[in-house]
Amino acid sequence: MPPVFDAAVVGAGVLGLAHAYHLARRGLRVVVFERSPKACGASIRNFGMLWPIGQPAGLMREIALRSREFWLELLPKAGIWHERTGSMHLAYQDDEAQVLGEFVERSEGAAELISPTEVASRSPAVKTAGLKAAIWSPSETCVDPRQVIAELPAWLERQYGVQFEFSTAVSAYDAPTITAGGRAYASQQLLVCSGDDFQSLFPEAYAGCGLLRCKLQMMRSQSYAGRLKLGPMLAGGLTLRHYKNFQDCPTLAAVKERVARESPEFDEFGIHVMASQNGLGELILGDSHEYNDAIQPFDKPRIDDLILEYLHTFLNVPDLQIAARWHGTYAKHPKESYLVRQPAPGATCVTAVGGAGMTLSFGLADQVVSQIVGESQRAG
């Protein structure tokens, strides 16, 4: 007899863990399969920014805020470091300042314009000379992805009896039989949270839908513990081109046109610059965006240089040393904010959360699991 579970999850990245959490909280017997000895996909490589302000108002912001509630409930219980830092967007150009003003008008109270004095009081590291405008949002929370991905599995195991099978790749599912690591398991439900691997399981679920792979370069500084406190997580003016939340601002087109004209390399490599600081005092810095055929296994030092040059335009970081450099890849859909597909009886694939997977994970998983559990109860 194969081991029997109510639900099985593929992938121990943040989406897999979030689905395991919501399934197990509802009393289901859950197993998580992760092909690597430890998950080392996008979820361990990110900034650790839980960033609702980046989501467009409406459904996506609601999912992000709901997700935030789950994060804030479970992180203290799991003993995982987090800080409710909030965030600031900084504008040093007139057109960027205009966009921030337009955004605040549309943001339904999610963010407010603040003065340079207030910026300095929230983050002494920010350069206020030449600062034209800034917005503050209180909803963002910082986590350390290395800690989250390392410690959440053990907590889910202790708290809810979730079973983890690491170094075990799932190679087939024909409900209820799962083939994983050469063994058979049984589960009526399989949640596939395989990140940017959309070839190994149910490739037909994604075929022709335009899914993209995106590569991002990142850096981490030495620890500034006791020397520099970032305070809120920070985004410079280039970020206005990146998140969908700014897309309805009339002056955004002018920002994009100016950046394309003045500094085409930012567009060529999809660069915008953000910074967070983890509990060890290290700054997490990034990032760039290269898609599909432009993705190479080799990182580009020029991208790192451009990120750091831009960082120095808004942040005082004395003696900055880069302690680590890496890249990550994620799946993204050109139009949809995420994809949920049901390619076979009992199988649900969830992917393409793009650059917002940490932010959306627990809210999206709650939605998916509610539907599955509701459906299977109705079927039973």
Ligand X SMILES: Cc1cc2nc3c(=O)[nH]c(=O)nc-3n(C[C@H](O)[C@H](O)[C@H](O)COP(=O)(O)OP(=O)(O)OC[C@H]3O[C@@H](n4cnc5c(N)ncnc54)[C@H](O)[C@@H]3O)c2cc1C
Residues that bind ligand X (CB under 6 A): 10-16, 33-36, 39, 41-43, 45-49, 51, 169-170, 193-195, 197, 200-201, 216, 218, 286-287, 328, 330, 351, 353-359
Q: Closest distance between ligand X and the C-beta of residue 106, in Å?
A: 22
Q: Closest distance between ligand X and the C-beta of residue 149, in Å?
A: 8
Distance separating alpha carbons of residues 22 and 345, to the nearest angstrom? 20
In terms of CB distance, is 34 or 96 closer to ligand X? 34
- Between strands 322-332 and 212-223, the pairing is antiparallel
Q: Closest distance between ligand X and the C-beta of residue 290, in Å?
A: 11
Q: Are 66 and 73 in contact (CB under 8 A)?
A: no
In terms of CB distance, is 127 or 325 closer to ligand X? 325
- Alpha carbon distances (Å) from 65 to 23, 170, 228, 348: 20, 32, 29, 24
Cis status, amide bond into 176, omega within 30 of 0: yes
In terms of CB distance, is 194 or 251 closer to ligand X? 194
Show Cβ contacts of residue 298 under 8 Å, excluding neighbours closer than 6 positions: none
Q: Closest distance between ligand X and the C-beta of residue 310, in Å?
A: 17
Q: Closest distance between ligand X and the C-beta of residue 18, in Å?
A: 8
In terms of CB distance, is 97 or 193 closer to ligand X? 193
Q: Are 195 and 211 in contact (CB under 8 A)?
A: no
In terms of CB distance, is 98 or 270 closer to ligand X? 270
In terms of CB distance, is 253 or 323 closer to ligand X? 323
DSSP 56: P
Give me 176's structure tokens.
């209820």
Query: How many other C-beta atoms lie within 10 A of the C-beta of residue 301?
Result: 10
Q: Are 17 and 151 in contact (CB under 8 A)?
A: no
Q: Closest distance between ligand X and the C-beta of residue 361, in Å?
A: 7
In terms of CB distance, is 171 or 263 closer to ligand X? 171
Q: Are 331 and 351 in contact (CB under 8 A)?
A: yes
In terms of CB distance, is 15 or 30 closer to ligand X? 15
Nearest partner of 229 among 272, 282, 274, 267, judged by Cα: 282
Q: Closest distance between ligand X and the C-beta of residue 139, in Å?
A: 13
The CA-CA-CA angle for residues 360, 343, 42, to 5°, reads 35
In terms of CB distance, is 105 or 291 closer to ligand X? 291
352: left (phi over 0), alpha (psi -120 to 50) or beta: left
Place of tokens 């190994």: 200
Q: Closest distance between ligand X and the C-beta of residue 159, in Å?
A: 20
Place of tokens 């150009």: 93
Burial class from Cβ neighbours inside 10 Å (0-12, 13-18, 19+) for residue 212 reads middle
Give me 248's structure tokens.
């309805």
Q: Are 191 and 368 in contact (CB under 8 A)?
A: yes
Residues in a beta bridge with 218? 286, 326
Which residue number has the CB closest to ligand X? Answer: 357
Residues in a beta bridge with 191? 9, 348
Q: Closest distance between ligand X and the C-beta of residue 377, in Å?
A: 26
In terms of CB distance, is 8 or 133 closer to ligand X? 8
Query: How many other C-beta atoms lie within 10 A of the C-beta of residue 226?
Result: 7
Q: Closest distance between ligand X and the C-beta of residue 81, in Å?
A: 15
